[in-house]
Structure 1
Amino acid sequence: MLTSEFGVYLTALLVGLLGGVHCLSMCGGLVSSLTLGLDAQIRRDPWRMLPYQLAYNLGRLAGYLVGGALVGGLGAMLLQLDSLQILQRLLYVLAGAVMVLLGLYLAGWWRALAVVERQGLRLWRRLEPVARRLLPVRSWRQALVMGFIWAWIPCGLVYSVLLTAVATASPLDGAIVMLMFGLGTLPNLLGIAMLAGAAARIAERAWARQLAGVLVMGFGIYALWQVGFAG
């Protein structure tokens, strides 16, 4: 992988952590649906709610892992075609460009991810009826399946990180990239009070978001620079 693995992994983690406000706006309705479908006594007891929340988010992480492995494998397959070796450099350019765009998003300087979100609407239209049949969620098994489907919701952050995972050209690296993104979203979506509060406070500080954005853009620019000086 031409781009630094550390840089790609850190980018995915930062996007998940500091993009939490976006995640809550996209997924808040699904989280509410899970909660409202449970027995009132369970809803009043955070400890009894925890297994459902864990199953929900475990399913979501599994969906991200599968998606990352699939697109990373797709990148690897493309690179096996002798007549399309130029794709290797194109994938590296894609990774660098997406990292720059994600950095701009984190910093709050440009929000072009809505274009990416629109591309996923066709897939979600097929999955949404399946997800609707699982509601109301009555068991942790339902929550697990619901979480897996939730991973494919049309979200600019998810799809942008998936594009970065394609460029790893490795099922394992692609899966790890998506896992790091998913772990970054956990503080906000799992409802861990202390971590979620800390993440929210960081995300509210313009300088912190801008610093993270510049760091992510730096990884992307470095990746593009490497492509320019390779071969």
Structure 2
Amino acid sequence: MLTSALVLGLLGSLHCLGMCGPIAFMLPLDQNNGVKKTAQLSIYHFGRLLAYGVIGLLFGLLGKGLSLFGIQQKLSIGIGVLMIVLVLIPGKYLNGHKLLSPIYSIIGKVKSKLGAELKKKTPDTFLTIGFLNGFLPCGLVYMALLGAIAMGSPLEGGFYMMIFGLGTVPLMSLVVYSKGMFSTTIKSKIQKLIPVFVVIIGILFIVRGLGLGIPYVSPKAAPADSVSATIECHQP
């Protein structure tokens, strides 16, 4: 399942460019020193991965809480179904919903802070920008977070999100060094593959929750511990 996070990040990189690309282009990188530029870009990416890891840890903790109720398999199935449903529902039915207004308020504050940091050139700027960048809204990040919940563990949830972020690093780095390297046609074809792959991941989570006994894919649930009814009496 961790592999799905990496592939989701790799395939979704073009989608991420819509939100993170402009920020990456605006980074105050040192254009005269290649080594320093690479170091600054690496710090920016590390900040993003750190943010994803923190978010994944929190959602993994949520998944662990749900797993304590003995519903981890049902949770995996439910998350798989939710992934598929979210792909099928047009975005216009989700955007602008009143329940999301508090989230939009937080996003506005993050964007304001990002704007202020982009004007600076201090060493810590790139880490801060990357970290804040990780909290910006992105449909693929939301899908990855569903996967983090399904992990049922804070550490595994954080690791899942960091692997997802790692998958976005190659393309995000390439566009900084080679602007306009992808034609509109190529971008369009890859964008069409993203929903298909999200559906495939959703199916994998459903299969995982069914406990079909397939190693590494759908392991059987561990049998409940049997409680012995025998009571031993000890004479004083």
TM over 0.5: yes
TM-score, normalised to structure 1, is 0.71
Corresponding residue of 2:230: none
Using the TM superposition, give the Cα deviation of residue 144 of structure 1 relative to its aligned residue in structure 2, in angstroms. 0.4
Give the corresponding residue for 1:32.
25
RMSD: 3.6
**Per-residue deviation, 1:78:** 3.8
Q: Which residue of 1 aligns with 2:146?
A: 163
Equivalence map 1:1-231=2 (5 Å):
7=1, 9-34=2-27, 37-38=28-29, 42-80=30-68, 85=69, 88-100=72-84, 110=88, 112=90, 115=94, 119=100, 120-191=103-174, 204=189, 212=197, 215-226=200-211
Aligned residues: 206
8 Å CA contact 1:113–1:157 kept in 2: the answer is: no
Q: Secondary structure at the match of 1:140?
A: coil
Post-superposition offset of 1:98: 4.4
C-alpha spacing 1:158/1:113, structure 2 compared with 1 (3 Å): farther
SS at the partner of 2:151?
coil
- Kindly name which structure, 1 or 2, has the bigger radius of gyration based on alpha carbons: 2
- Distance of 1:99 and 1:215 partners within structure 2: 9
Alignment partner of 1:43: what SS? coil
Query: 1:112 deviation in Å?
Result: 4.9
Q: Which amino acid aligns with 1:162?
A: L
Deviations for 1:179-199, whole angstroms, at most 9, x for unmatched residues?
1101110111122879xx79x
CA deviation vs aligned residue, 1:52-104 (integer Å, no higher than 9, x gap): 10010000000011111111112223444xxxx275455223332245468x6
Residues 11 and 99, structure 1, Cα contact 8 Å, conserved in 2: no
Contact 1:98 1:164 in 2 (8 A): no
When residues 191 and 113 of structure 1 are mapped into structure 2, their CA distance, relative to the original with a 3 A threshold, is farther
CA distance in 2, matches of 1:144, 1:217: 33
- The 1:162/1:206 distance shift into structure 2, 3 A limit, reads closer
Distance in 2 between residues matched to 1:101 and 1:10, nearest whole Å? 22
Q: Which runs of 5+ in 1 are unaligned?
A: 1-6, 105-109
Quick one: structure 1 residues 203 and 221, their matched pair in 2 at CA, closer, same or farther if it must change by over 3 Å?
Answer: farther
5+ unaligned residues in a row in structure 2: which ranges? 213-219, 224-236
Conserved? CA contact 1:59–1:144, under 8 Å? yes
Distance 1:16 1:98, change over 3 A: farther
TM-score by length of 2: 0.70
| Residue identity opposite 1:191 in structure 2 | L
Q: Which segment is superposed worse, 130-139 or 158-167?
A: 130-139
